Amino acid sequence: MNDIKEIISLMQNPTDKDVALVKKAYEFAQKAHADHTRNNGEPYFNHVFATAKNIAELGMGATTIAAGFLHDSVEDMKVTPEEIEKEFGNEILFLVEGVTKLGKIRYQGTERHNESLRKLFVAMSQDIRVLIIKLCDRLHNMQTLEHIPKEKRLRIAKETLEIYAPLAYRLGIKKLQRDLEDLAFAYVYPEDFEKIKKILKKKKEEVEEHLDKFQKNLKKELAKGGVTKFSMDYRVKSLYSLYKKLQRFKGDVEAIYDISALRIIVPEIADCYKVLGIIHGSWRPLPERIKDYIASPKLNGYRSIHTTIFTGDGGIVEVQIRTEEMHKEAEYGIASHISYKEGLRKKTTNPNLLWLRSILPRKRSEDLGIPSKSTDVPTWIKELVEYQKEAGEDFIDDIKTDFFEERIFVFTPKGDVIDLPKDSSVIDFAYAIHTDIGGHMAGAKVNGKFVAISTTLQNGDRVEIETKKSAKPSQKWLEHCKTTMAKRKISQGLGNKHPNL
């Protein structure tokens, strides 16, 4: 247990120096937490080991893994920041301090808690790896939540569902989002959780009846067709995403086809089509269910081929075909773009990776006077930091709407991507571009047609704002915008010194 080899084996082409750094952090943390136990009585080191392992599983490099080992050593133990800096340098110290909660004296209760979140946001706006460590730390805390005193559990689970899982989602790290959501779901909505678990179990059994035989036959057919390099796995929809989807489908389970799916991962794009050809040559597909997201990626950049086929013995199975690169992008998001040689971002071959384009820094942040030191930090995180400075006590509630709800992607006439919460209007768009554009908006076109500025935007819309020097915001606008950011700017434009939102 807690064997460092486990973590090293997860690292991608580590150098000797990388391995040495990770080992050193492992040993340092082991010593620092030697006499320290968690609520359930097990050694505290188990927690930092699990956190470091979660980080390695995302494909992050030695620096981030080392910081994962050290992330609780300053807060809980008698290790000083100076010691960390002396042993590991200031980069790792920055990451560790970013994750460390506030000192215990200055704040109390919720106030302290909110201030800790603010501090986290500020740190992650300078280095996104701080957030990745925090999410991996939270994942293990959720996995061991049953050992926390009951009255704290619900608060932690709610916060996970409302803040941390959406943060993972906005970074495109689906793997973390899924795990965090499912773990929190059980505590926040225990009855629904049990209900969904039953539905999923039944569905899984139905599919698995046919799956084994189908998988064997499929392997045979692939071999006949000359496809030898591939891996196959079977995934079941996560509990929380099924719960949300069922709400959209008004509880009709039979209408949801992708509850479980067989996944085939191959080296090249050409192999994807070859595999599709082999499958359709042997099994009949459901005509409406063939989707080529490689030729036409989803707006969020997702790429894969989906087809749903009759297995021939009464079963229906969805098959997803993709390359290794597509798979990593879909599962690990921004983490798959931070190279194992940290600091260099790998180039993606996916020109349509809109979510990535939308979260990476644009000129907009400089327009707003937000310093952009690191090039790897998404613009929206920097905006979030600016935003919370202006927002008051309720900033957590405000950012839930503006930053963590389901997103849509819309375009400027030049093709820049702006992502906004679902149900945003033209007004929200204008203020998201720039306060002056919102404040002097005179009219707008969506997809080339003149529309009312109260119009709700749809995913993929192209939006053009017309401004006039004399144009001013009106009270009515407040009723037609979604984001707190737009509401606040409009109120300021109307001369309300203390907008009551």
Cβ pair 317, 307 in contact under 8 A:
no
- Burial class (CB within 10 angstroms; exposed 0-12, middle 13-18, buried 19+) of 230: middle
Q: How far is the CB of 138 from Mn ion (least distance, A)?
A: 8
Closer to Mn ion at the Cβ: 54 or 300?
54
Q: How far is the CB of 54 from Mn ion (least distance, A)?
A: 11
Whether 318 sits among the annotated catalytic residues: the reply is no
How does DSSP classify residue 102? P
Interface region with Mn ion, contact rule CB under 5 A, candidates 56-64, 70-78, 404-412, 460-468: 70-78
Backbone angles phi, psi at 13, to 5 degrees: 45, 60
Cross-sheet strand order for the sheet of 441-446:
449-451, 441-446, 463-467
Closer to Mn ion at the Cβ: 120 or 317?
120
Taking CB under 5 A as the criterion, which residues in 176-215 touch Mn ion? none
Using the rule CB under 5 A, is 97 a contact of Mn ion?
no
Taking CB under 5 A as the criterion, which residues in 427-446 touch Mn ion? none
Residue nearest to Mn ion (CB): 137
Q: What ranges in 4-128 are assigned the alpha helix state H?
A: 4-10, 16-32, 45-57, 62-70, 73-76, 81-99, 109-126
Which x/- pattern over 370-399 shows residues binding Mn ion (rule: CB under 5 A)? ------------------------------
The token pair that represents 13 in the structure block: 């082409």
Catalytic residue among 57, 76, 386, 466: 76
Taking CB under 5 A as the criterion, which residues in 11-40 touch Mn ion? none
Closer to Mn ion at the Cβ: 127 or 137?
137
Which x/- pattern over 120-159 shows residues binding Mn ion (rule: CB under 5 A)? -----------------x----------------------
Interface region with Mn ion, contact rule CB under 5 A, candidates 72-80, 321-329, 415-423, 457-465: 72-80
Q: How far apart are CA 90 and CA 81, in angstroms?
A: 9
Q: How far apart are CA 205 and CA 203, in angstroms?
A: 5
The binder of Mn ion chosen from 28, 52, 63, 72 (CB under 5 A): 72
How does DSSP classify residue 467? E
Give the number of other CB atoms < 10 A from CB of residue 30: 16
Q: HSE, CB side, 13 Å, CA atoms: give it for residue 252.
A: 7
Whether 115 sits among the annotated catalytic residues: the reply is no
Total binding residues toward Mn ion, as defined by CB under 5 A: 2
How does DSSP classify residue 288? G
The token pair that represents 355 in the structure block: 């979510």
Closer to Mn ion at the Cβ: 71 or 382?
71
Interface region with Mn ion, contact rule CB under 5 A, candidates 65-73, 273-281, 322-330, 439-447: 65-73
Q: How far is the CB of 29 from Mn ion (least distance, A)?
A: 11
Q: How far apart are CA 342 and CA 56, in angstroms?
A: 13
Catalytic residue among 75, 83, 376, 464: 75
Pairing, β 305-310 against β 316-323: antiparallel
Closer to Mn ion at the Cβ: 123 or 222?
123
Q: How far is the CB of 498 from Mn ion (least distance, A)?
A: 39
Helix or strand holding residue 446 (H, E): strand 441-446
Interface region with Mn ion, contact rule CB under 5 A, candidates 68-76, 104-112, 237-245, 354-362: 68-76
Residues that bind Mn ion (CB under 5 A): 72, 137
* Catalytic machinery residues: 75-76
